Structure 1
Amino acid sequence: MIDSPQEYIEDLIAEKIIEAVKDYCDISKQEILNYIEEPPRPEFGDLALPVGRLRRHCKEMPIKNLMPKISSKISELDITYKVNVVSGYINSFLDKVQYSQIVMRSLKSLKGSYGKVSGIKSERIIVEYVSANPIHPLHVGSGRNAVLGEFVARTLEFIGHKVQRRFYVDDVGRQVAILAFGYKLLGEPEPPKDMKVDYWFGYIYAVTHTLMDIIKLKKEVNELKRKGNVDELTFKLRELDGLMAMAARLRERDVKTFDKILDAINKVEDPEYEVMKLSREYERGELEAKRLVRKVINYVLKGFKETLGKLGIDFDKWDWESDLVWSGFVNKILEKAMKSPYFKLYKGVPALDFSYLTNDPLVRELLKIPKALEIPPLVLKRSDGTTLYTTRDIAYTIYKFEDYNADKVINVIASEQTLPQAQLRLALYALGYREYATNLIHYSYEMVNLPGIRMSGRRGVYVTVDEVLESCMEKVRELLQSRGKEVSEDVVKDVALAAFKFAMLSVSPSKPVLFNIDNVVNLERNSGPYLQYTYVRALSVLRKYGKGIEWGSISFDYVNENKLVWDIVKFIGKFPKVVRGVSKYLDPEYLATYLLKLADKFNTFYDKEPIIGEKEGGRRQLKLALTYGVKTVLKNGLHILGIPTPERM
C-alpha cells in the first residue's frame, strides 16, 4: 500500500537515475531525491531533475554525456510516458491514468488517515510553549506563541511522535513580586465578579509598576536638582511627565482601585526594597511569601486557562519555577557550575564564560549558535544572592529531559530570546549535558504588530487574545448575516478561531505578523474561514450524494481530458510529502499555502464542473473521489494547524 503517491514516484525515478550514473558518480538516492523538483509550468513535465546539481558528484564523465543515459533509464518506467531534456533539465511526464489510480488507491485504503507518512522513527518530544509571565492577561503576542506551539505539537503527533505539552509558570522574580506587592497593598480583596480575573490582576500590576517608577523617578529628579545637572534633569522631567500621564489614564479605568494602591504605596518608605524582599523570601520558600504569591498566580492562571480553552489548547503539565528552586535542584546546578572550568567572576558576580566554546566553529554548528551572535558570560546569581531566569532554566531543561525521558525538547520562544537560549545550550554543554544541549531546540518566532498600537505590560497597554477573538466573532456574525445565513454560536466561534489561528500560522515564524481584522475574516480568499468554507462545500457534496464512492467504477480516462482534474489529483497526491516537509522544518506557512492552493483549485472545479449532476457514471465517481480527497486533505491539514472543521457554515 502506497501512503505517499508523489514520493513513491520520485523514489522510482531516483532509483533509475542511480542505475544510470552509479559507475560515474558518487551520489546517494537521498541526494537525488533532494534535487528532484516540480517544474513551474506544465509544459516542462510533472517532475524534473536539474542535471547541473549532479556535477559535483560526477567527476568521471561530463554531465552532457550522462543526460541521455539518465533520460533513457527514466523512460523505462511505465509511469512515465515521456521524458525530455530541455536547458539542463530532465523532465518527466507522468502517465495521468496510472498516477491517478495510485492516488485513489491510497485514498481508499487510508481513508481519514491519508497524509500520515511512514518511515519516521517515533520519538518522545516535549513542546514547551506560551509560558507567559503570570502578571497580566495573554496578549496577542502570546497568542501567536500559543498557536505556533500547538501547531508544532500537532504536527509531531500527526507523524507518530509522542508529544507532551508543558507550560512553565514563571513565578520567581521581580515582576511577580510587584504584582503580589500591589495586591497586598489593596488588602488582598476577592477579584470583582464583572471582570475576567487576569484582566484585574493585570491592572493591579500596571498601576503598581507605574507608581513605583514614578516614585523612583521623583527621587532621581530631586537628586539632579540638588546637583544642578540641567541637561539630564530636563530629560528626566519629560520622562516623569509621560509617566504621570500614563498614571492618569490608568486611574480613569478604575478610580477606587488606583487611589487605594496610591494611598497605600505612599505609606511605604521604600517600595523597591519591599518588592525585592518579597522576591527573596519567595525564592527561599518562606511561608507567608509562598501563600501570597501562589494565591495571586493561581488567580492569573485561571484566566490563562480560560483563554487557552478558547484556543482549543490544553497542557499535560504545568511546571512551577518555584518548585524547581525549592527542590534544591537549582542550587545543585549552581554548585556544579561553580566547579566548572568555565566558571569565573564577572563584574563581581558568579558567571560562566563561554569564550573558549564559542571560538570553536564545530561547537557553534553543533549547538546551532548563529555565527554573528556575540555571547557574553552567563551571570548565575545577582549580587543580592537571587538567581537569574536563565540559571533556573538550566535546571528546568535538565528536569524536562529526565522527567519525560525526552529525546528532544522544543522551546517556543520569541526571537528576542535568541541570546538567552544560546547561553542555555552552551551552559548545558559546558556542564556535561551535551546530549541535552544538542537536542534542545529554540523554535523562534517574530512579534505580532497591530496598526497604531504599541504594547506595554508594565503600563497596562496591550491587546489581549480574548479581545481579538471577540472582534473576530463580531466580524464573522456581521459577514454571515450579510449573506442571509443564520448559524449557531458554536459555528461563529469556530470560524473566528480559524481566522485568528490562520492569521498567525500563514506567515512563517521568521516573519512578523501584521494583524488586520478585515483581512483575516474572509470567506472568499486566503484565510482560515475560506479553508473551512471549502471543506464544508466538499463535505456537503458528499453528504448530498448520500452513498459511498464506487471506487471500482471510476473512469480514469477523464484526467487526460481535463487539466483541472489532473491538477487536483496531483495536489492530493502531494499532501503526504507536504506533511513530511512541514514536520521537518515546522513551518506552518508551507502547509497554509498548499491548502489555499488546493482550495482554490477545488472551488474553481466546483464552479465549472457538475459533480453529482455528472451524467456519465464513471466520471461522476471520479469527481466524487476527488471531492472526497479534497475533504480528507483539508480536514487533516486544518487539524495540524489546530483549526476546527465545522459540519455546516
Structure 2
Amino acid sequence: MNTQIRDPFTYLKNIVADTVHSCIRELDVNAAKICSKDLVRTFIEIPPREEFGDLALPIPRIYKICKLSDGRLIDCIIRRLSSLDLIKSCEKVSAYINMRVNEIAYGKLVSSLLRLLRDDYGFVRVSKPLRIVVEFVSANPIHPLHIGSGRNAALGNFIANILEAVGHIVERRYYIDDLGLQVAHLAYGYKLLGKPKPPKNMKVDHFLGIIYAATSILVEIKDLKEKAERAKAEGNYEEYSKIMAEISRLIADLQSLRDKGDYVSKLIDKLIDEVMKRDNPKAEINELMRKYELGDEDTSNLVKEVTSLVMEGIKETLKLIEVKMDVWDWESDLIRKGLVKKVLDQASRSPYFTIHKGAPALDFKELLKSNEIKDKLRIPRGLEIPPLILARSDGTTLYTTRDIAYTIKKFREFNADKVINVIAIEQTLAQAQLRLALYALGFKREAENLIHYAYEMVNLPGISMSSRRGRYVTIDDLIHNLKLRVLNLMKKRGSNVSEEVALKIARSAFKYMMLSTSPNKTITFDVEKALDINRNSAPYIQYTYARARSILNKYGKPIDWDNIDYSSLSIGLRRKLLMLIGKFPSVITYVANELHPEDLITYLNEVADTFNSWYDSESVLGEKNPKVRNAKLMLTYGVMIILKNSMKILGLDVLPRI
C-alpha cells in the first residue's frame, strides 16, 4: 500500500477522476485542458439511494463543461472504470454513470489503513499548516456564563480541536471586556453595597450577576420614574401609562432577584435605598466608566477586583465543561499599553477619517464602491454600513475601536495567518466594520484573514432571557440539572454510575446539542432529546462507542489482520459499515475546511445507527468462521476508532462504559 494514502474514499474518487480525465484527453486534448482532473473530481456524486451505487458521474455536466458530445467518451469511461480493481461494476443509467465499489479491494484498503494508522485514522494533515487564533466565549465579566455563551464555548472548542487535528497550529484566546457601561454598572452596585461577599451556597459569578442585574434595573427604574413624572406633568397620559407598565415589569424582575434568598434580598433592599437617594446614578456610572478608561487608580482597583471575581467563576465553569484557553486578554490593557491610542492616531491620518455626528469616525463609502474589496472582506450583500464612530464626546473609546487594536495584537503576538472570532450573529455589522476599518488603516492582510464565525441564539422553552434583567439559565445550573437527570435515568435502567461519570455524560450532552444544529440556526434546548440514549445524542454516541469497545475487549486478542475474508463484507449492513468507515477521513477533511460540526454529527449518527442495527442482527464474537469473524472485528474496530476520534474533536467525553 502507498504509505501516502490516508483517505480511502478520496483515493477512490481520485482514481475515478484520473480515469475519466484520461478518456477526455484521449478524445480531445483541448477539452482535457478545460476539464482538469481536479474539476472532474468535483463532478463525482454520491447517489441518493444505495441501489444506484456508491459513486455517480452526471453525463450532461461533463458534456456541458468539457464542451464534448462524443458518445465514445461514455464508452471509454465505462470500459476503463470497469477495469479498475476498486470498481466492481459500472453502468450508464439515464443521465448518470453509476459505479459500485469492489468490497474486496476496498476492504483491503480500509483494513490496511486501520491497521497502520490505528488511533490516527481519519486525520489527513494539511501540507501547509497555518497559525490560527481562535477567540471564543469572551463573555463580559459581569455575570456567569449562560447557555448562549455555552454555544459559543462548544463551537470555539470544536473549531480549535478540528483545526489542530488536521495539523494547524492553534491558539485559544479569551477577550475579557472589562471596559464599557455594563462593567461600570456592576462596579457601581458592588461599591454601593460595600463590596459584599457571596453567600456560602452561591458561586461568586452568580452572586455578582445578581448585583449587576439589580443595579441595571434600579438605574433604569429611576430614569423611567423621572420620565413618567414629566409625561404626567405634560398631560401625556398614554406615554405615562406605557412607562408605568415598563416600571412594573422591571419591579417584577427585581422581585425575582430578591427571591434568591434572605441575604440577597437584604442586599437588594440596601441597593434600592442607595440608588434611589442619588441625584443622577446614570451620570455617576458614566463617570466611573470614563475614569477607569483614563486609568484612575481607585477606580481601576475597584473594577479589576470585581471583574476578576467574576472571571474566577467563569474559569470554574469552563473547567466544568472542559474548555481550555491559552491566553486571557484584558481589554483595558489595550488602553494602558497605548495600542488604542495608536489606532486613533492612525485613523486621524487616514483618508477615510471624518467627523460623524460630532465624533471622530471612519467613513467606508469609497471602499464599499469596490465589489472586489467587499468580496475580499466577505461583506454581506445588502448590509448597510454606517461610518464607524471611534470615540465618544467625553473621550472614551467604543468597543469596535478597541477591537481594531485587539485584532492587530492577535495577529502580531501569535504571528497568525488567520484569526477566527466566534461571535453571535447580532455582531455582523460590528464585525464587518472591523474588517473595513483594518483595511482602511492599511492592515489589508489582517482584514482579509479575519473570520467572523457567527452563530444564532439558544432558547429554553418558556424562558425569555435578558442578562441585564437577570433572566438567564447558567451553564452551571443546566449541567447540574442534566447530571441529576443522568443519575436518575441510569438508576431506572439498573445501571448505577458515579457522579463523575454522570457529569461527563451531562456536559457531553450539552455540547452535542450545541453542535448538532447549524450555527446559523436558532437552537431550542430540549433536555429530553439531549439525554436520549437511543438516538441522536451524546449518550447514544458514548453508548455505541462503549459497545464496540466492549466487543473487542471480550475478544481479548489482537485482530488477525492477515486472515480476513473480505468477500464477506459484500453482505448488507457489513457493506454499508465498510463504506462509512472508508469515508471518515474525507468527512473530517470536509468538516475541517467548512467548520460545520453538524455534518460530523450527522455522519456519526449514521455510523452509530448502522453499527447498532448490524450488531443487533448478527453476532460478532459468535461467528463460527474465523476469517469472517476477523472481518467483523475489523468493522467493529473501525467504528470504535471513528467514534473515539470524533468525540475528541467535538469535545465529548470518551467513556469506556456507560
Above 0.5 in TM-score? yes
Q: Secondary structure at the match of 1:57?
A: helix
Instruction: Find 1:200's aligned residue among 196, 207, 230.
Output: 207
Instruction: Find 1:420's aligned residue among 430, 444, 447.
Output: 430
Using the aligned pairs only, state the percent identity. Answer: 49
Corresponding residue number in structure 2 for 1:242: 249
Distance in 1 between the 2:166 and 2:471 partners?
40
Deviates more, 1:391-400 or 1:75-84: 75-84
* 1:344–1:353 contact (8 Å) kept in structure 2: yes
Distance in 2 between the 1:42 and 1:243 partners?
59
Please show how residues 5-20 of structure 1 align to structure 2 within 5 Å: 5-20=8-23
Distance in 2 between the 1:208 and 1:79 partners?
69
Corresponding residue number in structure 2 for 1:36: 44
Q: CA deviation at 1:261?
A: 1.1
Q: 1:185-209, CA deviations, whole angstroms, 9 ceiling, x for partnerless residues?
A: 0111233322111000000001111
Determine whether 1:429 maps to 2:432.
Answer: no
* 2:126–2:168 contact (8 Å) kept in structure 1: no
* 1:54–1:63 contact (8 Å) kept in structure 2: no
Q: 1:475-516, CA deviations, whole angstroms, 9 ceiling, x for partnerless residues?
A: 111111111111122211111112111111111111111111
Q: Secondary structure at the match of 2:23?
A: helix
Q: CA deviation at 1:226?
A: 2.5
Determine whether 1:162 maps to 2:169.
Answer: yes
Corresponding residue number in structure 1 for 2:415: 405
* 1:19–1:73 contact (8 Å) kept in structure 2: no
Corresponding residue number in structure 1 for 2:289: 279
* 1:3–1:118 contact (8 Å) kept in structure 2: no
Distance in 1 between the 2:59 and 2:375 partners?
30
Q: CA deviation at 1:35?
A: 1.9
Distance in 1 between the 2:368 and 2:74 partners?
45
CA distance 1:41–1:201, change in 2 (3 Å): same
Distance in 1 between the 2:311 and 2:588 partners?
34
Determine whether 1:3 maps to 2:6.
Answer: yes
Distance in 2 between the 1:417 and 1:440 partners?
14
Q: Secondary structure at the match of 2:366?
A: helix
Corresponding residue number in structure 2 for 1:618: 627
Instruction: Find 1:313's aligned residue among 319, 323, 328.
Output: 323
* 2:8–2:110 contact (8 Å) kept in structure 1: yes
Distance in 2 between the 1:620 and 1:252 partners?
63
Corresponding residue number in structure 1 for 2:107: 100
Instruction: Find 1:594's aligned residue among 595, 600, 603.
Output: 603
* 1:554–1:622 contact (8 Å) kept in structure 2: yes
Q: 1:3-28, CA deviations, whole angstroms, 9 ceiling, x for partnerless residues?
A: 10001110111111111113224022
* 1:120–1:159 contact (8 Å) kept in structure 2: no
Give the letter aligned to residue 289 of structure 1. T
* 1:378–1:423 contact (8 Å) kept in structure 2: yes
Deviates more, 1:35-44 or 1:131-140: 35-44
Determine whether 1:524 maps to 2:525.
Answer: no
Distance in 2 between the 1:136 and 1:288 partners?
22
Q: Secondary structure at the match of 1:553?
A: coil
Corresponding residue number in structure 2 for 1:113: 120
Give the letter aligned to residue 45 of structure 2. E
* 2:126–2:166 contact (8 Å) kept in structure 1: no
Q: CA deviation at 1:373?
A: 0.8
Distance in 2 between the 1:241 and 1:40 partners?
57
Distance in 2 between the 1:372 and 1:310 partners?
41
Deviates more, 1:385-394 or 1:44-53: 44-53
Please show how residues 193-592 of structure 1 align to structure 2 within 5 Å: 193-253=200-260, 254-560=264-570, 562-592=571-601
Q: CA deviation at 1:64?
A: 4.8
Distance in 1 between the 2:148 and 2:23 partners?
53
Give the letter aligned to residue 173 of structure 1. G
| CA RMSD of superposed structures (Å) | 1.2
Normalising by structure 1, we get a TM-score of 0.98
Determine whether 1:146 maps to 2:153.
Answer: yes
Normalising by structure 2, we get a TM-score of 0.97
Corresponding residue number in structure 2 for 1:50: 58
Q: Secondary structure at the match of 2:259?
A: helix
Q: Secondary structure at the match of 2:150?
A: helix
Q: CA deviation at 1:258?
A: 0.5
Distance in 1 between the 2:150 and 2:104 partners?
46
Distance in 1 between the 2:142 and 2:341 partners?
26
CA distance 1:270–1:64, change in 2 (3 Å): farther
Q: 1:349-372, CA deviations, whole angstroms, 9 ceiling, x for partnerless residues?
A: 111111111121111111111111
Distance in 1 between the 2:171 and 2:40 partners?
35
Q: CA deviation at 1:65?
A: 5.0
Distance in 1 between the 2:582 and 2:588 partners?
11
Q: 1:542-590, CA deviations, whole angstroms, 9 ceiling, x for partnerless residues?
A: 1111111010011112113x12111101100000000000001100010
Distance in 2 between the 1:324 and 1:303 partners?
24
Distance in 1 between the 2:143 and 2:431 partners?
24
Q: CA deviation at 1:44?
A: 1.5
Unaligned runs of 5+ in 1: none
Q: CA deviation at 1:70?
A: 2.4
Q: 1:259-307, CA deviations, whole angstroms, 9 ceiling, x for partnerless residues?
A: 1111222332211111111101110111111100000011000110111
Deviates more, 1:66-75 or 1:386-395: 66-75
Give the letter aligned to residue 621 of structure 1. N
Q: 1:446-492, CA deviations, whole angstroms, 9 ceiling, x for partnerless residues?
A: 11111111101111110111111112111111111111111122211
* 1:400–1:409 contact (8 Å) kept in structure 2: yes
Q: Secondary structure at the match of 1:49?
A: strand
Q: CA deviation at 1:55?
A: 3.8
CA distance 1:469–1:63, change in 2 (3 Å): farther
Deviates more, 1:163-172 or 1:64-73: 64-73
Q: CA deviation at 1:623?
A: 0.7
Corresponding residue number in structure 1 for 2:653: 644
Distance in 2 between the 1:66 and 1:228 partners?
86
